[in-house]
C-alpha cells in the first residue's frame, strides 16, 4: 500500500453519481437496448458498460472508489475515536505510548473486537507501518513518538500529589469509565 499516493492522470473519478448512472445503463441493456445505444445515451464507454453488465450478471456490486476503500478499514470511526481518546489519556497522565506499543495495541484491539486484519498484522502481531502512517495522518492531534523519561518528582508535580502506578493506570482508567475498549495489558 502506498503511503502518499499522487494521482497521475486527470481521468474522472468513479463517484457515487457515476455508479448510479452506470447502474441505470446496465438496467437499460438488461431491458434489451444495444450496448452501443446505451453507451452513447449515457456517455459511457462500451467496454466499461460490458464490464459492468458482466459484473452485474455475476452478482458483484458496482461501487464507487470511496465505498471500496471504506470496506478495507480495520476499525470503525467510533473505535478509532476511542483509541485516540485512550492514547491522549495515557499521554495526559504521564505515560505516552511509542509507535511500537500503539501498533501492538491496535492489533490487540482489532482481534478482541473481531475485526478482520491483514495477514502481515497476524504474522507480526502488530499493525503495519502503512496503517500507522494513515492513522497519524487521520488524527493530527496525536503526537506519537518515543516518550521521554519523566522523573517521579516531575510526574507528581502536575497531578496534585497523586503518583500514577505504571502497572495499574490502565485498570484505573477502565474502572472510572473513561475508556470503553478492552486493553491488551494485564495486571
Q: Where are the domains positioned within the chain?
A: 16-70, 77-175
In tens, the pLDDT along 40-63 reads: 998 888 888 888 888 877 666 665
Q: Residue 86: is it exposed, middle or buried by C-beta count within 10 angstroms (0-12/13-18/19+)?
A: buried
Task: Bin 149: left if φ > 0, else alpha if -120 < ψ < 50, else beta.
Answer: beta
In tens, the pLDDT along 130-175 reads: 899 889 888 888 887 776 666 666 656 655 544 445 555 556 655 6
State residue 92's pLDDT score: 83
3-class state of residue 153 by DSSP? helix
Q: How far apart are CA 87 and CA 108, in angstroms?
A: 14
Q: Could you identify the residue written with the cell 478499514?
A: 73
In tens, the pLDDT along 98-114 reads: 899 999 999 999 998 88
Higher-pLDDT residue of 36 and 16 is 36
State residue 122's pLDDT score: 92
Amino acid at each position: 500500500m502506498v503511503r502518499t499516493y499522487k494521482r497521475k492522470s486527470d481521468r474522472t473519478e468513479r463517484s457515487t453519481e457515476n455508479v448510479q448512472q452506470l447502474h441505470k445503463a446496465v438496467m437499460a441493456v438488461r431491458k434489451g437496448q444495444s450496448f452501443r445505444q446505451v453507451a452513447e445515451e449515457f456517455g459511457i464507454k462500451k467496454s466499461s458498460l460490458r464490464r459492468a453488465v458482466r459484473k452485474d450478471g455475476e452478482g458483484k456490486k458496482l461501487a464507487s472508489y470511496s465505498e471500496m476503500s471504506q470496506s478495507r478499514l480495520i476499525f470503525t470511526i467510533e473505535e478509532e475515536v476511542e483509541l485516540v481518546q485512550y492514547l491522549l489519556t495515557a499521554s495526559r497522565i504521564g505515560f505516552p505510548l511509542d509507535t511500537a506499543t500503539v501498533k501492538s495495541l491496535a492489533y490487540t484491539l482489532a482481534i478482541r473486537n473481531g475485526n478482520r486484519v491483514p495477514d502481515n498484522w497476524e504474522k507480526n502481531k502488530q499493525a503495519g507501518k502503512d496503517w500507522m502512517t494513515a492513522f497519524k495522518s487521520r488524527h493530527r492531534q496525536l503526537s506519537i513518538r518515543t516518550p521521554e523519561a519523566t522523573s517521579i518528582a516531575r510526574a507528581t508535580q502536575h497531578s496534585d500529589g497523586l503518583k500514577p502506578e505504571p502497572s495499574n493506570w490502565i485498570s484505573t482508567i477502565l474502572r472510572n469509565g473513561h475508556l470503553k475498549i478492552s486493553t491488551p495489558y494485564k495486571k
